[in-house]
Chains A and B, each alone.
Chain A
Amino acid sequence: GAGVSQSPRYKVTKRGQDVALRCDPISGHVSLYWYRQALGQGPEFLTYFNYEAQQDKSGLPNDRFSAERPEGSISTLTIQRTEQRDSAMYRCASSFQNQKLFFGSGTQLSVL
């Protein structure tokens, strides 16, 4: 596609439910990142993939958060047993040869 595509655009869930957020990067972009952005704040690094390999997951807040990119293209960020503090905008970004980041429109997660 022309840009980084994320779905759903909005996700409202109840506390304790699991959610899966999807990212479809720009075709040919090897590098894929997940960021979280709180309102009024800059993006916060969560995890990085090089093709299908998760090379850095140091930014994942706790073990309820996980991510995968099984075929080196589409990635899924999963949050288990969601809590209200997980509410935020989750953004995916991809890049070619680790040049500039192209961010997606994000998934706005609200945990009630």
Chain B
Amino acid sequence: QQPVQSPQAVILREGEDAVINCSSSKALYSVHWYRQKHGEAPVFLMILLKGGEQKGHDKISASFNEKKQQSSLYLTASQLSYSGTYFCGTEQGRSGGYQKVTFGTGTKLQVIP
């Protein structure tokens, strides 16, 4: 089941904040966040395991609400380099010891000067 992301697209001015949401209809083991710039490969941002943790590095952080099967990515004081498409990916379990990530349709974020 593909996770649903919102919004589909957002335009920010430099310095503004943004929140990208990811929700699933099924119980989750983990949520992954990737950013993909135009014409490039997706790049890993962070992974959150069930337990309601919040993670972050620099001005990008994320939370995972296991009970609501939702995750949110927070971008603070956005920079031009934050532009790209953000994908959340979800795992319902890891019985085989490997990641089987189902990615959402993405949120296109554009930061303008």
- A residues sitting closer than 8 Å to B (CB atoms) are 4, 31, 33, 40-45, 48, 50, 55-56, 91, 95, 98-106
The answer to whether A103 and B103 touch (CB under 8 A), given A42-B89, A55-B98, A56-B98, is: no
| Interface magnitude class on chain B | 20 to 34
Closest to A100 in B: B44
In the complex, besides A40-B105, A48-B96, A101-B101, 20 extra interface pairs with C-beta distance below 8 angstroms are A31-B98, A33-B99, A42-B103, A42-B104, A43-B87, A43-B101, A44-B103, A48-B98, A50-B97, A55-B96, A55-B98, A56-B98, A98-B97, A99-B47, A100-B44, A100-B47, A101-B99, A104-B41, A105-B40, A105-B41
- Residues from chain B with Cβ under 8 Å of A98 in the complex: 94, 97-99
Which B residues between 23 and 48 are near A, CB-CB below 8 angstroms?
32, 34, 40-44, 47
Q: How far is the CA of A104 from the CA of B96 in the complex (A)?
A: 23
- Residues from chain B with Cβ under 8 Å of A31 in the complex: 98-99
Minimum C-beta distance from B64 to chain A (A): 16
- Residues from chain A with Cβ under 8 Å of B84 in the complex: none
The answer to whether A42 and B98 touch (CB under 8 A), given A100-B44, A100-B47, A105-B40, is: no
Closest to B89 in A: A42
- Residues from chain A with Cβ under 8 Å of B43 in the complex: 103
The answer to whether A103 and B106 touch (CB under 8 A), given A31-B98, A45-B101, A56-B96, is: no
- Residues from chain A with Cβ under 8 Å of B99 in the complex: 31, 33, 95, 98, 101
| B65 interface residue (CB < 8 Å to A) | no
- Residues from chain B with Cβ under 8 Å of A102 in the complex: 44
State whether A101 touches B98 (Cβ < 8 A).
no
State whether B100 touches A103 (Cβ < 8 A).
no
The answer to whether A45 and B98 touch (CB under 8 A), given A91-B41, A105-B41, is: no
Minimum C-beta distance from A84 to chain B (A): 22
- Residues from chain A with Cβ under 8 Å of B97 in the complex: 50, 98
